[in-house]
């Protein structure tokens, strides 16, 4: 690399210009100095190469959220009462192809988001509320642009999960903004296959269950009490429906929220976001599995974001589900329950206390 050799070349040229031969002591000191410079440059080059590799993991898949969500005048406005509060849309994606297909034992075309959370980080960065949006919720999708550049008109009564499958994360964020009138500040998408590798890289995650869980189809065999889960078991835990609870998608949301808290606690304990180059293997798995909006798509931005969240204790994070009720036309689908849903979104917009009335939705699974 030319930049690595230029300091040494400059010294050589200056040395040749000197008429008097250097003394033995000066030669020794210069040799030591050149050795140190070479070591620093070599180490710095390696660090730069590793850093660039991790950065490119994020940059290659970054979503330009501001551009995708369109004109500022058509987006939700930030309430003065919210101060410096922030809203983060978190998606757990499942392409059903490639590595994700191997997790199921079969390849299925298409992609979907099995998990959607709007995480509201309160002003002062000391508390957080995670709102799960059931994938079977019927919503009105806004106008969205496909990957090929064609524009699809808005559509009523479409299943929330289908928005990601047809149009991807940006349109999902746009749909969330429209249904809630809450501004989405950042986007983080976690690929399920990468999710498994992250859990294995950090040494597993501990979850506690009240009763034994036996689900042979999902590969789950958990004892009552705390269980240390590896990547495969963790993925089965957040995706399984059979053999746990009532087997519904709404019932699964509680386990996803429980695991989210456990995973965030482990990440904070190991300071992975605060120091993303601390362990290269973990950082590599983390950045390979993440798709973020363009403002977070670098190690520096991700580290700064992680540091700003240090005041939040994941174990005390509030986790709730969007209040829903079963659709009168199609009982296999749910719709936002009113006025509870409106009250929830209003509390998030204004960074206010979440009303107790929204914590017991008519449809609970």
Check which CATH number belongs to the domain holding 156 and give it. Answer: 3.40.630.190
Domain annotation covers residue 365? no
What is the count of structural domains for the chain? 2
Give yes or no: residues 123 and 6 share one domain: no
Residue after which a domain boundary falls, among 10, 31, 58: 58
- Residue 364 resides in a domain: no
In a domain, 321, yes or no: yes
At 288 the pLDDT is: 86
Q: Within 10 A of 1 (CB to CB), how many other CB atoms are there?
A: 9
Q: Please tell me the number of Cα atoms within 13 Å of 358 on its side-chain side.
A: 24
Quick one: tokens of 143?
């106008």
Residue 293 shares a structural domain with residue 331:
yes
Query: Tell me, what's the pLDDT at 140?
Result: 97
Whether 263 is covered by a domain: the verdict is: yes
Across the chain, which has 365 residues, the per-10-residue mean pLDDT values are 45 46 52 40 46 81 87 84 90 60 43 80 92 94 89 95 92 96 93 84 90 80 93 87 63 81 82 63 82 90 84 86 94 94 96 92 64
222 domain residue, yes or no: yes
117 shares a domain with 39: no
Query: What pTM was estimated for this model as a whole?
Result: 0.77
CA dihedral 319, 325, 329, 330 (to 10 degrees): 40
Residue 274: per-residue pLDDT: 61
Task: Specify if 106 maps to a domain.
Answer: yes
One domain for residues 31 and 102: no
Query: Would residue 89 count as lying in a domain?
Result: yes
Residue 148's pLDDT is 86
Name, in order, each residue with C-beta under 8 angstroms of 199's C-beta and a sequence gap of 6 or more. Answer: 205, 229, 230, 231, 234, 235, 263
Q: Is residue 326 in a domain?
A: yes
Last residue of a domain, one of 13, 32, 58: 58
Same domain, 36 and 124: no
Assess whether 289 and 177 both reside in one domain. yes
Residues 30 and 114 in one domain: no
Residues 107 and 53 in one domain: no
pLDDT at 302: 84
Co-location of 215 and 245 in the same domain: yes
Q: Return the beta strands (E) in 45-160 as ranges.
A: 86-94, 112-121, 128-132, 138-141, 144-145, 151-152, 155-159
Name the residue among 237, 242, 249, 176 with its Cα closest to residue 209.
Answer: 237
Domain range holding 283? 67-359
At 266 the pLDDT is 86
In the prediction, which pLDDT does 51 show?
62
Residue 53 sits in the same domain as residue 72: no
278 and 302 co-located in one domain? yes
Residues 264 and 209 in one domain: yes
């Amino acid at each position: 690399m030319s930049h690595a050799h230029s300091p040494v070349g400059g010294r050589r040229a200056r040395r040749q210009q000197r008429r008097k031969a250097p003394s033995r002591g000066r030669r020794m000191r210069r040799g030591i100095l050149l050795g140190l410079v070479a070591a620093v440059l070599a180490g710095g080059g390696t660090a730069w190469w590793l850093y660039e590799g991790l950065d490119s993991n994020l940059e290659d898949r970054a979503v330009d959220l501001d551009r995708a969500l369109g004109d500022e005048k058509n987006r939700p406005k930030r309430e003065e009462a919210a101060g410096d509060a922030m809203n983060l849309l978190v998606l757990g994606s499942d392409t059903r192809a490639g590595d994700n297909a191997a997790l199921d034992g079969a390849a299925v075309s298409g992609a979907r988001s099995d998990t959607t959370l709007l995480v509201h980080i309160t002003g002062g960065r000391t508390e957080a509320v995670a709102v799960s949006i059931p994938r079977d919720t019927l919503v009105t999708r806004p106008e969205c642009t496909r990957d090929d550049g064609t524009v699809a008109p808005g559509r009523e009564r479409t299943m929330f999960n289908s928005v990601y499958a047809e149009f991807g994360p940006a349109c999902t964020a746009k749909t969330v903004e429209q249904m809630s009138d809450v501004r989405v500040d950042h986007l983080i998408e976690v690929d399920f296959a990468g999710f498994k590798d992250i859990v294995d890289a950090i040494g597993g995650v501990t979850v506690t269950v009240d009763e034994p869980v036996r689900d042979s189809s999902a590969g789950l065999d958990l004892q009552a009490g705390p269980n240390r889960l590896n990547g495969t078991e963790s993925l089965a835990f957040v995706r399984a429906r059979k053999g746990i609870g009532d087997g519904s998608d709404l019932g699964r949301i509680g386990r996803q929220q429980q695991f989210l808290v456990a995973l965030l606690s482990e990440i904070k304990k190991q300071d992975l976001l605060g120091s993303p180059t601390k362990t290269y293997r973990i950082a590599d798995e983390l950045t390979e599995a993440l798709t973020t909006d363009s403002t977070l798509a670098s190690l520096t931005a991700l580290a700064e974001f992680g540091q700003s969240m240090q005041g939040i204790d994941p174990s005390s994070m509030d986790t709730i589900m969007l209040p829903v009720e079963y659709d009168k036309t199609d009982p296999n689908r749910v719709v936002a329950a009113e006025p509870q849903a409106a009250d929830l979104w209003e509390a998030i917009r204004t960074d206010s206390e979440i009303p107790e009335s929204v914590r017991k939705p008519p449809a609970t699974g």
